[in-house]
Amino acid sequence: MSKEQIIMMISMAVYMIAVLVIGVIYARRSKTSDDFYLGGRKLSPLVAAMSAEASDMSSWLLMGLPGLAYLSGIADAGWTAIGLAVGTYFNWLVVAKRLRRYTVVANDSITLPDFFSNRFHDRYKLLMIVSSITILVFFIPYTASGFAACGKLFQSLLGVNYQMAMIISALVVVLYTAIGGFLAESITDLIQGIIMSVALVVIVGFGLSSAGGVDAVINNAKSMPGFLDMFNKFNSETGNAAPYGFLKIISTCAWGLGYFGMPHVLLRFMAIRKEGELKTSRRIAMVWVVISLIAAVLIGVIGAAAVKGLKDVETIFIVLSKNLGGYGVFTLLLAGVILAGILAATMSTSDSQLLVASSGISQNFFKGIINKRANDNLVMWVSRGTIIVIAIIGVIIAWNPESSIFEIVSFAWAGFGAAFGPVVLFSLFWK
């Protein structure tokens, strides 16, 4: 292992240790199941906004979206980004306030399955059972996509074994999530969101410099038919432009509809300390989302000029970060922090998914059906055990290094949007 690799690895190791320390600190504050799953509904506007968006975007923001833009140009990536930005805005505007209010009214529900069951007076707990199973079915592969991103990061950066890197990353996420619960997860998500923002902006600037400036990037893009066209896409196999029709645009923008059914995002609405602070959170969230999505698409476009013939297009962010580290010790440390951004993106989503999925078993199945008299301490230990089991299954699913992050996320996103989106909207607006 070279000196450069060691320095970057140290930067990322320090980051991983830091999030574990946060988990230990906040473990003392999780005294009840309400604290463990929802932070006692005490999140500030900043933490609620940043943790919601950081847990939403995941490694897909730094790897999947830039890779899509690198491969086919701005149409696919651009319309996806537009759909996500619009969906984020309306989720905060339409859903957040009512969900915060009605989850308290509905017997102080602390999970979505709880809320559905209480809201619709489900005496037989069928809604709770079905929604808990749905969360497990779609969150396990979603979690797997995050572990796959970590494996790709370390394999590409340090040449280490993909599976071993994935296991170590999963272990860190499991430890601080299982120890600290929702509060630890939310604070680390805030930090991780900031790191992701810095990473995106720095790599856009460095990528432009590496490619030879704005003119060089534009000229390279123009040499590929359809690359800079929102109504055509570049076909890398034929070298020609392919039409990007109206139906394709609608279906791509429809990614934004998935937000109405994303449990790990909706949980932040439920956890904010005051209903009136949601407007502030919405503004913070939208600024972060718009800047991050634009930067991610730009990285793909710039990367196509700076790095030619990349086989695994989802590693373009990693390759540019490695190149940044070739200009001295300071840039090596900076590259390490930026690459930690991928870990941050992965962890900020994986921790949320693990916690929400485990609540489906411990809070809804175990306490809701199997042992209704279980105390909070027992429920939290069941949740911790469930987190470990779900993480193991996620690692198994992502064991293949050829796993596509974008495809895995697409599957889970569509599943949640279709399964929960309509139910959430009806529960909040149907009398």
> In this model, does residue 329 exceed pLDDT 90?
no
Determine, yes or no, domain membership for 428: no
User: Measured between alpha carbons, how far is 139 from 396 in angstroms, rounded to an integer?
Assistant: 14
CATH of the domain at 233: 1.20.1730.10
Determine, yes or no, domain membership for 31: no
pLDDT band at 56 (very low <50, low <70, confident <90, very high): confident
The type of residue at 263 is P
**280, 272 in Cβ contact below 8 A?**
no
Determine, yes or no, domain membership for 423: no
What integer pLDDT is reported at residue 1 of this predicted model? 66
Count the domains in the chain: 1
Determine, yes or no, domain membership for 242: yes
The alpha-carbon radius of gyration of the chain (Å, integer) is: 21
Arithmetic mean of pLDDT, 89-113: 91
What integer pLDDT is reported at residue 217 of this predicted model? 94
Determine, yes or no, domain membership for 143: yes
**Domain coverage including residue 403:** 3-26+41-417
- Can you list the alpha helix ranges (DSSP code H) found in 228-371? 246-253, 263-271, 278-306, 316-324, 329-359
User: Measured between alpha carbons, how far is 322 from 308 in angstroms, rounded to an integer?
Assistant: 15
User: Measured between alpha carbons, how far is 62 from 362 in angstroms, rounded to an integer?
Assistant: 32
> In this model, does residue 404 exceed pLDDT 80?
no
For 297-327, what is each residue's pLDDT tens digit? 999 999 999 998 888 888 898 888 888 876 7
The type of residue at 284 is I
